[in-house]
Amino acid sequence: MKFVKFLIIWIASNLSIPFWMVGHVHLTTNVYQDITEILASMGMNIIVATGFWLDWKQNKNNLK
């Protein structure tokens, strides 16, 4: 379980900008007609959001 938590935080920290940049460029150039594209986009954003939340939860005491 610790590895899964670490992996989600790592993905969120290192891949959030590429996920969002590619996603936003893709949104402006493509119309989502395939449910697979919609689910993949939502999945990537959920992973990044979860990673940010886990990282914040883990480090919120260090911010003070």
> Does the predicted model carry a pTM greater than 0.85?
no
Exposed/middle/buried for residue 9 (C-beta within 10 Å: 0-12, 13-18, 19+): buried
The residue with tokens 């670490």 is 6
Average pLDDT, the chain: 78
Under the banding of pLDDT at 50, 70 and 90, the label for residue 44 is: confident
**Closest CA relative to residue 19, chosen from 39, 36, 35, 43:** 43
What is the three-state SS of 1-64?
Answer: CHHHHHHHHHHHHHHHHHHHHHHHHHHHHCCCCCHHHHHHHHHHHHHHHHHHHHHHHHHHHHHC
Per-residue pLDDT reduced to its tens digit, 13-39: 887 777 767 766 666 666 666 777 778
Q: What is the pLDDT of residue 4?
A: 86
